[in-house]
Amino acid sequence: MSEVFAFAIGTTVENRSGDVIDCFFPAPIKSPDSATCGLITARFKWGVHAVSQVALEAYLDATDSRSSVVGTLLSRTESPLVSVCLEADEPISSTPEAYLKLHLLSHRLALPNTLNLEGIFAHLPNVAWTTAGAIDVSELEERQLAARLQGEHLEVLSVDKFPKMTNYVVPNGVRIADTSRVRLGAYVGEGTTVMHEGLMNFNSGALGPNMVEGRISQGVVIGEHSDLGGSSSTMGTLSGGGQISITIGQHCLIGANAGTGIPLGDRCTIEAGLYITAGTPVTVFDDQGMETKIVKARELAGGSDMLFIRNGQTGQIQCRTNRKAIELNEQLHAHN
């Protein structure tokens, strides 16, 4: 019996040409046990396929999920149903596969940078996300006119390849002040607060608890108990970071309007307004406050206990020993 890498049954939205433009998988599965693998492979084909009512009912009965919320949704929906059964984590070859992998991330079943997302842009269509759901951009004008004729207003919330996460899953123990700023495919760890200016792209992560008031770009992961100050920034692989994966360790602080283009270890601080890129010249001081060398910031990548500040008189960017790790307010990040 072959092992199953990932599996899901979900509803789809199609355009008039029959192309899938949106998928909702309420209960995705990653790396199931052998018994569950047997149930899946006995009833569903590998790849992406329409789900028959007979196969659905047999699966719901076998997994004792007929009376669950998910089972009720799948058995009663009038939307087309699709199954995605992946034997291995290979490049994405369809829209349902792309949505399944985004769901795995936001359901906290996979960490950022652990899934093969090659091909995701090619298989995610640009969609008008509206108060009536996903609409093919080429069909939007007609739908808007039809709504007007009925005295209704069809609001277009965004036009994008990625929808917002909270229309698909709201992870336990989080606060998100502006849900439009967290894309499906973001990993939002328990205890995390994303404030109004915070933004989390797909395949990014805040492992939680975290305070996010800045931007976590694609591929960037923030460790536990770290804080991104207001309008701060992390450089992702899609925004000039090349192939370098930017990670920030535990108990770090990126000050307001500051940012980093290098990975940081634990207990690091970058003062407000200071952006560190790989080529930034940095003067390094030892524990005794003595200047030791001048290096490009990339040579400090991944280090812990670093404090980056700018000399107010000379403008020199300095790296000193960080003698104080930040602590998040426990009550603020207990989202029961």
pLDDT at position 326 is 63
pLDDT tier, 328 (very low <50, low <70, confident <90, very high otherwise)? low
Q: Which residues pair with 176 in a beta bridge?
A: 194
pLDDT digits (tens, 9 = 90+) for 17-26: 999 999 999 9
Instruction: Residue 307: count other Cβ atoms within 10 Å of its Cβ.
Output: 18
pLDDT tier, 325 (very low <50, low <70, confident <90, very high otherwise)? low
pLDDT digits (tens, 9 = 90+) for 263-283: 999 999 999 999 999 999 999
Least confident of 11-15, 26-30, 60-64, 128-132: 60-64
pLDDT at position 331 is 46
User: Distance between terminal CA atoms of the chain?
Assistant: 41
**Among this protein's residues, is 155 annotated catalytic?**
no
Instruction: Residue 137: count other Cβ atoms within 10 Å of its Cβ.
Output: 14
Beta strand 281-285 pairing with 306-310: unpaired
pLDDT at position 241 is 45
Q: Which residue has the higher pLDDT, 55 or 137?
A: 137
Spatial distance between the Cα atoms of 317 and 315, rounded to a whole number of angstroms: 6
Contact 176, 191 (CB under 8 A): no
Domain residue extents for the chain: 6-122, 128-160, 165-321
**CATH superfamily of this structure's domain 165-321:** Hexapeptide repeat proteins (2.160.10.10)
Q: Which helix (H) or strand (E) holds 292?
A: strand 291-296
Instruction: Residue 38: count other Cβ atoms within 10 Å of its Cβ.
Output: 14
Q: Which of 3, 87, 141, 213 is catalytic?
A: 213
Domain 128-160 has CATH 3.40.50.720: no
Structure tokens at 88: 């291995």
CATH entry, 6-122, from 1.20.1740.10, 3.40.50.720, 3.30.70.2010, 3.30.230.70? 3.30.70.2010
